[in-house]
Amino acid sequence: MAITPVSEMVAAARARIEELDTAAVMALLDDPDVVIVDIRDVRERKNGYIPGSIHAPRGMIEFWVDPASPYHKPVFAQDKRFILHCASGWRSALTVAALNDMGFAAAHLRDGFSDWTAQSGPVEVPAPRD
């Protein structure tokens, strides 16, 4: 059985979703009508995150977005612009494609959190837990 390389899946997703570069997302950081959604693993988020972003684990976001799901989160019912990100843009591209397929409008940070930090974007680091 041949496996489709994930790089091909990401390329196909990117061809049909809205991608935003880091500068564009930085410009939207203080916009009250924008919700930045971090889909990275909780362990990745411990090292820092975009200020004001919310965390929605990659494995749960479709359930959190769906109002008919028992796991629905009201934040996703707001009439706002949603911009997802992961570390490098691959997971968020696949996630946005899936959400768009569900009828949920979202975009993603094309080059992810790694580019955000490389471009000196603001980063908040959670306080250490005892």
Say what the pLDDT of residue 126 is: 87
Which string of DSSP letters, residue by residue, matches 6-48? HHHHHHHHHTTSEEE-HHHHHHHTT-TTEEEEE-S-HHHHTT-
Say what the pLDDT of residue 129 is: 74
C-beta of residue 106 within 8 angstroms of C-beta of residue 16? no
Say what the pLDDT of residue 109 is: 98
Q: What is the pTM of this model?
A: 0.95
Could you tell me the two tokens for 104?
């949920």
Query: Distance between CA atoms of 99 and 37, rounded to whole angstroms?
Result: 13
Query: Distance between CA atoms of 44 and 79, rounded to whole angstroms?
Result: 28
Question: From first to last of its 130 residues, what are the pLDDT tens digits of the chain?
Answer: 899 999 999 999 999 999 999 999 999 999 999 999 999 999 999 999 999 999 999 999 999 999 999 999 999 999 999 999 999 999 999 999 999 999 999 999 999 999 999 999 999 998 877 6
